[in-house]
Amino acid sequence: MPLADILHMNIGDGDSSYANNSLFTKIEIQKAAPFIMRTIRSMANHDVFFDHCFRIADLGCSSGKNTLLIASNVINTIEEVYQENNRKIPQFEVCLNDLFGNDFYNVFKLLPDFYKTLRKDKGDKFSPCFVSAVPGSFYGRLFPDKSLHLVHSCYSIHWLSKVCHGLENNKLNIYIAKTSPLNVLQAYGNQFHTDFTKFLQLRFEELVCGGCMVLTLRSRSSLDPTGDDSNSFWDLLTISLLEMLKEGLVQESDIISFNIPFYFPHEDELRDIIQAEGPFSLDNIDVFELNWGQDDYTYMNEYTHESNHNQGKNTSNLIRAITESLFTSHFGNSIIDELFKKCEKNATEHLATNITRHLSVVVSLTKKMNDSVVHIILLVP
Ligand code: SAH
Ligand code: EXU
């Protein structure tokens, strides 16, 4: 079955739903907020704001409180910038994209409150905002030509379009690991290169000239994909699967044929692809680090005003929220509870002695103005 028909973050609002495990990404979204602000300001300076309707797409929006947070951030910023420039605030169209299996229903249920809050906060200045869902893969066309002003995506584009070929000798690893052979690292890197190039080409068609993208992805610190601890989350899963193999609960051949289809690029890899794919200018690139361990839980607890001592369980729940659909589709339902029970134990042990660094990279890009547009602007006076 194609990956686009299998992959989804866990639905609903239970302990291992993505909606209940998206605090970490929320922090990332807040960190990327200044990028969005800067991007919108630069669009205003370049006079991209001529439309009566500002159209935003959030690609890989998933389902949870973060989903509409982006829309609020963007709307607030645009209002500020428009007011500074004495322009009439536009209408907004927010297009939420994710794969077909995404829990859009849960997003729809959040909409009445979202609209109500907007209306309350903005009072008479309220400019209509229309939210729509656009299911489908961002590795295909999603929008008409030149229809988007801003594309946002957080923690989604590191997902590949498919499990790459040539991973047979990755043996009992389920992602890039210290013992992965060179051809496996290359296969993952090449697949990311192909997918991200395609992604840029597709969005180029869909953005207006001067339109922008702000993209946040998981990243890594070392050019060698096995050279830092960015994979330790997934190593916990591998260890848990191997324990199940020893206990006769899973088959060796099933582990050998299972590989997770994401890739966390180094910032240089991203920069190279963007520059090779000419029509976007790279306006900003930055790398953030978050430490998965004591520090960030303290931070998160302050953030949520909850005291949370069960880091192993939280870690295992987050990993489950992200990967369960892939495990269920490959190994069947029956292994899931045991797998994540083991994962919780292994995560607790791991976190007792390690702090894991999680790197993210955020880029902002502008679709270059083409010659014909410059020509029209020159002719108008
Ligand atoms: N942006 C949200 C959710 C990230 S979860 C946040 O920051 O919290 C990653 C999402 O990307 C998942 O919901 C997954 O279904 C989606 N995704 C992965 N590959 C995709 C693709 N090819 N097209 C559209 N969405 C995709
Ligand atoms: C996600 C991660 C993560 C997090 N990956 N998502 C959505 C993801 O796809 C690969 O590592 N959300 O909070 N993390 C850590």
DSSP letter at 26 equals H
Mean pLDDT, rounded, for 144-151 = 95
pLDDT in tens, 221-266: 888 888 777 778 888 999 999 999 999 999 999 999 999 999 999 9
Q: In what order do the strands lie in the sheet with 148-154?
A: 129-135, 91-98, 53-59, 148-154, 207-219, 356-367, 280-292
With a 6 Å cutoff on the Cβ, whether 25 touches ligand 2 is yes
Tell me the three state secondary structure of residue 215. strand
Q: Is 25 in the pocket of ligand 1 (CB under 6 A)?
A: yes
Nearest-CA residue for ligand 2 atom 2 is: 155
Nearest CA to ligand 1 atom 2: 61
Which H/E stretch holds residue 379? helix 371-379
| pLDDT value for 73 | 87
In tens, the pLDDT along 49-82 reads: 556 889 999 999 998 888 898 888 888 888 888 8
Over residues 323-363, the pLDDT tens digits come to 999 999 999 999 999 999 999 999 988 888 877 788 999 99
Protein residue whose Cα sits closest to atom 10 of ligand 1: 60
Ligand 1 centroid to 156 CA: how many Å?
4
Burial class for 202, CB neighbours closer than 10 Å (0-12, 13-18, 19+): middle
Distance from residue 233's CA to the centre of ligand 2 (Å): 10
Lowest mean pLDDT of 23-27, 39-43, 47-51, 367-371, name the range: 47-51
Nearest residue to 308 (alpha-carbon basis) of 20, 10, 5? 20
Strand, coil or helix: 21: helix
Place 379 in a pLDDT band, splitting at 50, 70 and 90.
very low
Outline where DSSP puts E strands in the chain. Answer: 53-59, 91-98, 129-135, 148-154, 207-219, 280-292, 356-367
User: Domain-by-domain residue ranges, the chain?
Assistant: 20-233+258-300+357-380
Cα separation of 26 and 28, whole Å?
A: 5
Assess whether the C-beta atom of 261 lies below 6 angstroms from ligand 1: no
Determine the distance separating the centroid of ligand 2 and the alpha carbon of 89, expressed in angstroms. 34
- At residue 302, does pLDDT exceed 70? no
Q: Residue 351 carries which side chain, given as an amino acid letter?
A: L
Mean pLDDT across 131-150 = 96
> How many whole angstroms separate alpha carbon 41 and alpha carbon 131?
23
Residue 357's φ and ψ, nearest 5 degrees, are -85, 125
Partners of 295 in the β-ladder: none
Average pLDDT of the chain? 86
Residue 14 pLDDT exceeds 90: no
CATH class of 20-233+258-300+357-380: alpha beta
